[in-house]
Structure 1
Amino acid sequence: MMKYIIHKTEAKPSFAGEWDSPIWRQAETLQVEHFHPQSSNHHPQTQAKVLYDDNNLYVLFRVDDQYVRAVHTGYQELVCQDSCVEFFVQPDPHKGYLNFEINCIGTMLLYYIEDATRTADGFEKYTSVPKELTQNMTMFHSIPGPITEEITTPMTWYLEYNIPFALLEAYLVPLHQAAGTTWRGNFFKCADHCSHPHWVSWSPIGEALNFHQPKYFGILEFGL
């Protein structure tokens, strides 16, 4: 099973996509590199880093991409259709998880999912997280948008944001993030409606093209 150590930071990131800054050099780099067979021949290199402090998780993605598109600009729109990165986090394996799905221009979809069985309108049991619960999130995206005409030249883009523990605690109480604590989660990159669609994960998802499979989540361990 995949495992990632989340190190603690004493200083907050600057939310400027500074991958090699002193603060982000504290973090380990994970590779989102397990492409589903239904993907096209475009295999973008996707990396992520995560840090934490007493109040937040901090997440930074770097994507060496091509065929970039992003037309969704409203909260809770289907950003997976655009050039998109995703972080699913499950603090308690006996409870649900939150899916932070964010396209390259910073538009987010966020649910709390308790039963990921697919239905006609989404999932068997899920809650659409109200936008007001995300008001203490800071989001940096290196690309302005929308991008209605696909960018076909190679480019590197960054997405950086915080997840307040208070947001998670609206659905998952109590939380524990002391050193040695383990959560579950996965990281993804997709682009469903781009000219070269692809679906890639950090922890492999098996044969089905479905990111919403908690049984395949990797281990996220809080370090020092």
Structure 2
Amino acid sequence: MKELHASFIPGIYTAANLSELSTALDLLEKHHVDNLLWTDTGYKPEVSFAIAYTDAGIGIKYFVKEQYTTMVYKAINDPVYRDSCVEFFIGFDADGSYYNFEFNALGTALAGYGINRHGRMEVPAAIVGKINALSNIQFAEGDGMLNSWNLTLLIPFEVFIHHDIKTLSEYECRANFYKCGDDLPEPHFLSWSNIPNLDPDFHLPQFFGKIKFV
């Protein structure tokens, strides 16, 4: 099973100082989302992320380079997976249930909870809106160049509405990280922990990796 360690970043972070968390995440190890799944075109965006936790939530920063970048969806729980999208799925319990968090390049979020892709319970928009996001996008200016964007996220513990999480210190959980873009000119599916499944499906917790919060 693939595994990573997420370290602690001290401090209190809000929308007003999220750039400070972004800078702190820049200093951490980058993990590659480099398993290209369910396509034979050869097109493969460059994707990595850094992850840590704070006293109040989980911080993630995605780094993306890709040929096509779209940001159509603007409302919480819109189908952002059709845009240029990065995703974070995390499960805390042995029953296989997990949260899915999906974000387009603007930071527009979709979130749900369940045990597989069927019958997922949407996390209410008022709760999802507590996630803080900071987006930085640079579009390519010449032929052969790639669009480059990064997205810093702070997911407060209170967003995990089916759990009472006060701290993640010394905690282990199951997770996976993804990149997709269903409606892009070059649709693609990438994962951090590989998914050896014939049919396209990110909602397979049996293939999640492990995160140790240290």
Q: Residue 78 of structure 1: CA displacement?
A: 1.2
Question: Which residue does the alignment assign to 1:33?
Answer: 34
Which SS does the other structure have where 1:16 is aligned? helix
Query: Conserved in 1, the CA contact under 8 Å of 2:56 and 2:167?
Result: no
Take 1:196 and 1:65, find their aligned partners in 2: how far apart are those partners?
A: 10
Q: 1:16 aligns with which of 13, 19, 29?
A: 19
Question: Which residue does the alignment assign to 2:210?
Answer: 219
Take 2:165 and 2:6, find their aligned partners in 1: how far apart are those partners?
A: 19
Q: Residue 193 of structure 1: CA displacement?
A: 0.9
> Unmatched 5+ residue regions in structure 2?
139-143
The alpha-carbon distance between structure 1 residues 95 and 214, as it changes in their structure 2 partners (threshold 3 A), is closer
Question: Which residue does the alignment assign to 2:7?
Answer: 7
Q: Write the deviation string for residues 123-173 of structure 1: whole angstroms up to 9, x where unpaired.
A: 1x32111111134321111139xxxxxxx95121011111111221x2124
**Superposed counterparts of 1:85-104, under 5 Å:** 85-104=86-105
TM-score normalised to the size of structure 2? 0.87
Query: Conserved in 1, the CA contact under 8 Å of 2:78 and 2:110?
Result: yes
Question: Which residue does the alignment assign to 1:182?
Answer: 172
> Unmatched 5+ residue regions in structure 1?
117-122, 145-151
Query: Conserved in 1, the CA contact under 8 Å of 2:88 and 2:102?
Result: yes
* Residue 172 (str. 1) matches residue 163 (str. 2): yes
Q: How many residues align?
A: 206
Take 1:222 and 1:45, find their aligned partners in 2: how far apart are those partners?
A: 26
The alpha-carbon distance between structure 1 residues 203 and 73, as it changes in their structure 2 partners (threshold 3 A), is same
Q: Residue 38 of structure 1: CA displacement?
A: 1.6
Question: Which residue does the alignment assign to 2:190?
Answer: 200
Query: Conserved in 1, the CA contact under 8 Å of 2:62 and 2:152?
Result: yes
Take 1:10 and 1:70, find their aligned partners in 2: how far apart are those partners?
A: 32
Q: 1:131 aligns with which of 125, 130, 133?
A: 125
Code of the residue aligned with 2:109 in structure 1: it is: M
**Superposed counterparts of 1:146-165, under 5 Å:** 153-165=145-157
Identity fraction in percent: 26
Question: Which residue does the alignment assign to 1:209?
Answer: 200
Q: Write the deviation string for residues 39-66 of structure 1: whole angstroms up to 9, x where unpaired.
A: 5322111000111122111011000111
Which SS does the other structure have where 2:159 is aligned? helix
Which SS does the other structure have where 2:93 is aligned? coil
Code of the residue aligned with 1:198 in structure 2: it is: H
Structure number with the higher strand fraction is: 1
